Amino acid sequence: MQTLSASAERRYAAKTKLNTLLASRTETLTLFSQLAGMRPFKPDDACQMALQEFCEALVDYTASAHFQLYRFIDEGTERRTKVLDIAKQVYPNIADTTQQILDFNEKYDCEDHCNNLGELDNDLSQLGEILADRILYEDQVIEAISSGR
């Protein structure tokens, strides 16, 4: 049985982490679409459950980006200069979107305030723009990691 070289192991680890991030992103976007499709929002059980599930996935996705992309880079596992440069360039933008996502979650976490949905339509639209920006930033890092250079 052949053993993988250190660089092959790093590439495999990076690919696994990226796949985890992309799966989390896909789940979040699916739940976002399902929730948006419930407009106009009413504080009924179905809307509250969808909002809670979305908020949980949103926080998981946000954490996944940090654990799957940036922790991997911060730990020094990633050595390619191009990847490190792009990560350093876009990280402040990703950190900004992280704060906005956490603010949304704080406002709509159904454990405390699921009945206050008066601003959800507008906030969800703004969050969609924030997620679109975040995905663009993440994709720059993902592309650099995936390019193999």
* Residue 112 structural domain: 6-146
CATH number at residue 46: 1.20.120.1370
Q: Is the peptide bond before 43 cis (omega within 30 degrees of 0)?
A: no
Domain count, the chain: 1
Q: Which of 70, 109, 115 is nearest to 91 (CA)?
A: 70
- pTM metric for this prediction: 0.87
Q: For residues 136 and 91, what is the distance between their CA atoms, to the nearest angstrom?
A: 12
The answer as to whether 35 is a domain residue is yes
The answer as to whether 57 is a domain residue is yes
> Could you tell me the mean pLDDT of each successive run of 10 residues in the chain, 149 residues long?
67 81 96 97 90 95 84 74 90 93 90 76 97 96 80
pLDDT at 71 (0 to 100): 75
pLDDT at 70 (0 to 100): 77
pLDDT at 114 (0 to 100): 65
pLDDT at 115 (0 to 100): 67
